[in-house]
A and B are shown apart, each in its own frame.
Chain A
Amino acid sequence: MTSVGRLGQPLVAFDAVTCRYRDDAVLVDVDLVVGPGEFTGIVGPSGSGKTTVLRVILGTVVPVAGRLRRRAAMRVAYVPQVETVNWSFPITVAECVLMARRQGRRPPWASRAERADVTDVLDRLGLGGLGARHIRALSGGQQQRVFLARALLGRPDLLLLDEPTSGVDVRTRHEILHLLGDLHRDGLAIVLTTHDLNGVAAHLPNLVCLNRVVVAAGRPAEVLTSAVLEATYGAPMEVLDHGGMRVVVDGRRPADVAPLDDRLRRAAGQ
């Protein structure tokens, strides 16, 4: 079994989970554990099943084999990829955040307590004063934080994010990671998917390398190795050490590099 997880009852446990989309296997015999308060990143190439893992946890995808165990009465919140959002939809920031609050039968308008909760969560995420703004009139980082605010309004036990730093600049990426780090330190369990090995994955406490199967799982120092990454991505990768931080670069065997260098020198007139 390959897994990450601390001792104690897990929030979520995959036991040999297999998922298919028609005839294609999306996940095969995946074992995975997410414990309370853990922060786990899932990396892998496109089509490796990263988003499917999140959907299995959410219950929107049902495994064809294996078992998913979830802690009873666990609250799970989900932040989708921002590329899937219709930014021209007629809602304000506050309306977007509030739509997640739907337990019980509630009138269309927000109660005083709900408005206060929305204000609190927006302030906490640096969006204070933007409640009345339309969602399209926000920067990329602000848009991501609106969906984070919507997820946090329900006070989840586990937060799932699908590529939360996709399409944002370096500064915004730092802001989002910093924010997630604060939430993690407050005790929230987080699972996110990412393509960004150096900007995101290398900074997380736990990593899972996935390509339909779990290739490796553990701390970045254990997981981010050339052998593991080549097995995950199917392409040679080198892992360098930069001040104790793992840096992943495209791998090149010397035989592949020389002809390219020659061509570049010839093009430069050297």
Chain B
Amino acid sequence: MKDLLAPFEFEFFRNGLAVAVLAGALCGLIGVYVVLKGMSYIGHGLSHAIFGGFAASSLLGVNVLLGAGLWGVVSGLMISGVTRRRLIGSDAAIGVITTASFALGLALFARFGASGASFDAALFGSILGVSRGDVVAVAAVLVLALAVVVIGYRSLLFTTFDPEVAEASGVRTGRVDALLMLVLSLSILATMQVLGVTLVAATLVIPATVARMLTDSFARMLVLATAVGALCGFVGMNLSYHLDVQSGPTIVLVGATLFAVVFVATGSRRAPRRQGFDGHGSSVAAPAAPR
């Protein structure tokens, strides 16, 4: 027991743990919309895009939060705009925007910076160097995300479930999507330090997916995903300390383990694909009840 409580003596660990729990909760909450809107690829890409901004900001001496944040918001809005207009295929366009930004970050570090602690920390996360200010920043983004989710609950739900009818009913789905992308960008930025850009996407997807297996209620899914994200952050950070492994991988592995346990416990409810009349398949969780 003493060993388990040992890391709590250190301020850097307490700060890191606080950030991991808050970041886990934040990613879990926003991840519900990412998963239900089928945006998992966007979450993955956006985290890579922000890396480019992070690299440029740190090498230019610009405030990293500001620089990477701006870069991430612009990337997010570009992705949102391209996805809505579908000019050249959203997945291809997202791949171009995000991988180019990621590659830019790698190139900048290779040319002007030194690979090392800060480089590895940016990619994989590190609890070292997490300050009280970072804790406050993540907490602030979580509060913002909660406010957006609560105040815009019905518009977000309508847009996520049925964007066409939502638009027809007067919901400004463009603004809702842009707001969601903004919150997503800020969430990724706020959690980069502990999770690293390569693994942020997993913390967006795993808690929401676990929650979906446990409930058919949207509201409960939001609560569960937030709680699962926080739990993964707490357990993963402690494991990171005791196993001397980077925080990002351990948090993700805790989440993946939880996913496997819940998947087995709830049974493999494979969704049968149902053909529409236009020949496009759509997944449903279970066949409709007999008529």
Contact = CB atoms under 8 A, between A and B. Distances in A.
Interface residues of A, number: 45
Interface in A97-144: 98-102, 105-108, 134, 136-141, 143
From DSSP, what is the main secondary structure of chain A's interface residues? loop
A169 B291 contact: yes
Interface stretch (A86-94, A210-218, A233-241): A86-94
B215 A60 contact: no
Contact of A80 (B157, B164, B283): B164
Contacts, number: 105
Interface string A134-161: 1011111101000000100010000000
A137 to B, nearest CB: 6
B37 to A, nearest CB: 10
Nearest to B159: A99
A166 B158 CA distance: 23
A86 B161 contact: yes
A143 B291 CA distance: 11
B154 A76 contact: no
Nearest to B173: A60
The residue among A85, A108, A171 with the most chain B CB atoms within 10 A of its own CB is A108
B216 A76 contact: no
A58 interface: yes
A270 interface: no
B112 interface: no
B266 interface: no
Given A90-B216, A90-B218, A143 B288 contact: yes
B218 A95 contact: yes
A100 B161 CA distance: 11
Contacts of A84: 164, 276
A60 B168 contact: yes
A45 B87 CA distance: 27
In the complex, the 6 A-B pairs of residues with the closest C-beta atoms, listed nearest first: A108-B153, A88-B285, A83-B276, A58-B168, A87-B284, A78-B168
